[in-house]
Amino acid sequence: MLSKKAERFLSDLRIYLTTYGKNEQEIEDIVSELEDHFVQAEKHGKNIEEITGGSPKAYMDQLRVEMKTDQKEILSALLLFFPLALAFVILPDALQGNAAYTLLDIIGNLTAFVIGLGMFILFLRLESSRSLSKAARIAMYWVIGFVPMGIFLGIKLLNRFMDLSPVFIATPSQNYMIAVACGLFLIGYSIFAKTWVTIIVPCIIIVPDFIADLLTASPQDRAIVSLGIMIGLIVLYLVYLVIQNRRKAQ
């Protein structure tokens, strides 16, 4: 049996190498070999610090440098991420029957996707290779959650201020098809990846508008209530992630 520290190290190593685009099968092979090595080393009284030479980060980097970067792995991840992020954005609009986008929407959303992806990868690398304090983890969760959301909200405000005309306006039938396609994609991904994130995130985006419609009459009140509910749901989800992270660390 491996110690909890050794198990955590192997789990972090898997994440760390994945963020650098290493081949999934090669990662699993290395993790399997290291697991056997750690079992034998711990039987002889060595701990994870002694096995990794006192620096888990340096040990991970050494393995990373020795492995080739799999360009196909990176491309497949990007091809999966962007449709996923796109579905998060257009599903709420399609459900409300108003999927229409200006050039600013398209460019701004792509920018938010890239920034969000970069921040997420950076966070995974830092969390998996360093012993971050609880405060640092909480701060990074907040930044990752609110920066992309802030960009999306900023785009909407700019659109209203500049009164830009949409370059694409979906018809009622197109809205229906978009909503069905996005819903099926998110559910399929959730089943494939064994995660609730692709269900929870759209709910955080969609549910506030429906609740605001029931509670308010004017567009201004609706926007304020919807934003407040959305922020509240984001905070609750981030708190849940922090609690889960603490449980795993114990």
Q: Give me the chain's average pLDDT, please.
A: 81
**Residue 162, Cβ density class (10 Å: 0-12 exposed, 13-18 middle, ≥19 buried):** exposed
Sheet strands (E) in 73-181: 100-101, 168-169
Q: Kindly tell me if the per-residue pLDDT of 249 is higher than 60.
A: no
The whole-number pLDDT of residue 52 equals 78
Cα separations (Å) of 133 from 120, 140, 181, 222?
A: 18, 11, 41, 39
> Between 173 and 47, whose confidence is greater?
173
Lowest mean pLDDT among 103-107, 169-173, 190-194: 190-194
Q: Determine the average pLDDT of the residues in 195-216.
A: 82
Residue with tokens 């998996």: 128
42-73 burial, b for 16+ CB within 10 Å, e for fewer?
Answer: beeeeebeebbeeebbebbeebbeeeeebeeb
pLDDT tens by residue, 124-135: 777 777 666 667
- pLDDT surpasses 70 at 63: yes
Give dist(CA 230, CA 236) in Å, integer.
10
pTM higher than the cut 0.85: no
Residue 246's pLDDT is what?
Answer: 67
Beta strands in the chain (DSSP E): 100-101, 168-169
3-state secondary structure of 23: coil
Predicted local distance difference test score (pLDDT) of residue 250: 57
- Residues in the chain, total: 250
As a whole number of angstroms, the distance between CA 201 and CA 233 comes to 10
CB-CB contact of 9 with 52 (8 Å): yes
Query: Which residue carries 């994130």 as its tokens?
Result: 197
Which residues neighbour 207 within 8 Å (Cβ) at sequence distance 6 or greater?
229, 233
Is a pLDDT exceeding 80 seen at residue 11?
yes
Residue 74 has pLDDT above 70, yes or no: no
Contact (CB, 8 A) for 69 and 20: yes
